[in-house]
Structure 1
């Protein structure tokens, strides 16, 4: 079962344990893979000799110590404005410690956080699932955007969560669980075709290359409504950078993230989404090495100066390009033009995302981060590590890690696929990715209780999403434990067994407030495995 029930400023970076700002250079060689500095910081420290490595680290460490104090005074530009001091700092983003960047971000977040009550929204998940339309008008994203557009964006800049969710027809009281569940479901809509905003990249559609699970902004999604939705998704991304409670499990490629932090795009970004196109361009550039010269070129290559974008639409690379044949001499110009067209095909949509982010965060804060850092801060890690989760687990009264059903539980999680582990996390917490750092975890712990019963094998587990806890029956075999868990995480979507007054009122809501819609059936009774 699952329920929705209950769910400041930090110290200086240099005062935190494990800080790269206070790390002694002599300890540099003993850093673990997950230690400070971060992976992007370590790349800046590569040197052949240990002494040179330590000397370089001292220099970078001193630079970061000064920057930590002075960045609020000078960081006011973006990378393309290299003539300014702020622009030069953005060019050095690879040697700026992540903790310095996060401290700068946190300073802004703390100074602009609102302490007013969270605005309430009413979301109808039953309608979103049962009345799908090509234009996405019944989706949760559309419902949420319509209601929040009536508010000033700053009203959502709260310290914990941006708004409070009431699910129509579901007995859920939002203390964190329904909020996280709504955000996760919206990301699912974006990546499932329910909304005309994103599409699976060509690598995913063709089953080749890397990044087969990423989604690209649809180049044709340029109507006022669609760009408005992109701006709203950008606003959610900005809130994810501000709030621990907000995390967007989106699979977007470097081609998108780089545009958000003003990092230059290159061929690797095309290859990461369309391997076949990249290979074609490489072969065309080096076709002379295959024995094809100017005389033979026209017999084997029939391209004109137009390119096919990721959604299948075609654009001319120059005026009248569809009638202009590519020649042996012009093939490099053609390849450069195709590369440029493919890399900028989603610029309008990415600009809309950036506009949405800027409603809750200044763009200049983003440009100090690398694209990888921004992705992890907003979306978390896609890999749900069982060992990380176990390290963040506490056990309820009378429960210990050596008990038989608890051992069955951890064995079942280890045997799950990555998708199943993400589904489990959503079942117990309303989000599908783990926090990426100790700071984001804070005091949060997963709690495992035993659900007492004389017939445990007949029961399903009960999850409390707001409290990040699970009641696990004392199953008598590993096979039964795995079977019951898989059924629960696969079939239990509703958060429907809270017993508070607010939850009961939500349960009685049976219709969406729209005169054009027919009357809906009352909410279904809770399933055998429910969520609080």
Structure 2
């Protein structure tokens, strides 16, 4: 009716046109919204949803759009390095300097999601593991690696904070593929991808949990 009734907007019909346009935009997705509501009602009684604001409900379901580093630090554990080591201090300083968008990209790189859970309890025992390995030689020539299934970040022993920041920023902005890494290598070389655990005796306790079909990782080399 909106498009067929008014082929031209004039001073005389502008008010009616605006009223119809607003009404159309407010109700153009009524059918889809009703389907979403019906689906949610099968999980949560709809009357209970009125107890929360839209922001509160979004935060409960998706986590906070802000990335609080104190929460990430509280679930961090370290392998192959002490928490007081310079490399770890550089890492957290770089994370502090990141914008919220960059922190979200970092989470996408290391965990396959863009938001943190709301509280420590919501992590359900899942630690953020930072593992530092000596197999990268020379270390400044390598990018970080991540195993998204295990919330695991592998870092070379970078020589300075500047190199760490440069490599980490490159990784989070350009290393976004998760499931297709091994397939891409097979397609290019005709050979199955090498098993990373064979060169990494320090990480056997982690890699032993990962089968070929479940090992999601991002590599920069």
Q: Give the 3 Å change call, closer, same or farther, for CA 528–436 of structure 1 in structure 2.
A: closer
* Mapping of residues 113-512 of structure 1, within 5 Å: 316=2, 320-322=5-7, 325=10, 327=12, 331=15, 334-396=17-79, 398-400=81-83, 402-453=84-135, 455-489=138-172, 490-495=174-179, 496=182, 503-504=211-212
Query: Contact (CA 8 Å) 2:59, 2:118: kept in 1 or not?
Result: yes
Deviations 1:260-310 (A, max 9, x none): xxxxxxxxxxxxxxxxxxxxxxxxxxxxxxxxxxxxxxxxxxxxxxxxxxx
Q: Give the 3 Å change call, closer, same or farther, for CA 502–457 of structure 1 in structure 2.
A: closer
SS of residue paired to 2:212: helix
Shift of 1:363: 2.7
Shift of 1:396: 2.9
Q: Give the 3 Å change call, closer, same or farther, for CA 415–435 of structure 1 in structure 2.
A: same
In 1, the alpha carbon distance for the partners of 2:218 and 2:155 equals 16
Match of 2:190 in 1: none
Q: Give the 3 Å change call, closer, same or farther, for CA 502–476 of structure 1 in structure 2.
A: closer
SS of residue paired to 1:470: strand
In 2, the alpha carbon distance for the partners of 1:432 and 1:477 equals 27
Q: Does 1:529 align with 2:220?
A: yes
Shift of 1:374: 1.5
Shift of 1:448: 1.8
Largest Rg, 1 or 2: 1
Shift of 1:475: 0.8
Q: Give the 3 Å change call, closer, same or farther, for CA 372–426 of structure 1 in structure 2.
A: same
Shift of 1:324: 8.0
Deviations 1:82-123 (A, max 9, x none): xxxxxxxxxxxxxxxxxxxxxxxxxxxxxxxxxxxxxxxxxx
Shift of 1:361: 3.5
Q: Give the 3 Å change call, closer, same or farther, for CA 410–355 of structure 1 in structure 2.
A: same
SS of residue paired to 1:448: strand
In 1, the alpha carbon distance for the partners of 2:210 and 2:71 equals 34
SS of residue paired to 1:484: helix
Using the size of structure 1 for normalisation, the TM-score is: 0.32
In 2, the alpha carbon distance for the partners of 1:408 and 1:347 equals 50
Query: Contact (CA 8 Å) 2:145, 2:219: kept in 1 or not?
Result: no
More helix by share: 2
Deviations 1:162-212 (A, max 9, x none): xxxxxxxxxxxxxxxxxxxxxxxxxxxxxxxxxxxxxxxxxxxxxxxxxxx
Shift of 1:474: 1.7
Query: Contact (CA 8 Å) 1:326, 1:334: kept in 2 or not?
Result: no
In 1, the alpha carbon distance for the partners of 2:93 and 2:39 equals 42
User: Number of residue pairs matched?
Assistant: 194
In 1, the alpha carbon distance for the partners of 2:107 and 2:27 equals 36
More relative contact order, 1 or 2 (CA 8 Å, 6+ apart): 1
In 1, the alpha carbon distance for the partners of 2:214 and 2:74 equals 36
Question: Please, which runs of 5 or more residues in structure 2 have no aligned partner?
Answer: 183-194, 197-206
Deviations 1:464-508 (A, max 9, x none): 22222222222111121112212322225235568679833579x
Query: Contact (CA 8 Å) 1:399, 1:449: kept in 2 or not?
Result: no
Q: Give the 3 Å change call, closer, same or farther, for CA 501–434 of structure 1 in structure 2.
A: closer
Query: Contact (CA 8 Å) 2:109, 2:218: kept in 1 or not?
Result: no
Shift of 1:404: 1.3
Deviations 1:229-267 (A, max 9, x none): xxxxxxxxxxxxxxxxxxxxxxxxxxxxxxxxxxxxxxx
Using the size of structure 2 for normalisation, the TM-score is: 0.70
Deviations 1:336-390 (A, max 9, x none): 4433332222222222222332344343332332211111122222222333322
Query: Contact (CA 8 Å) 1:383, 1:433: kept in 2 or not?
Result: yes
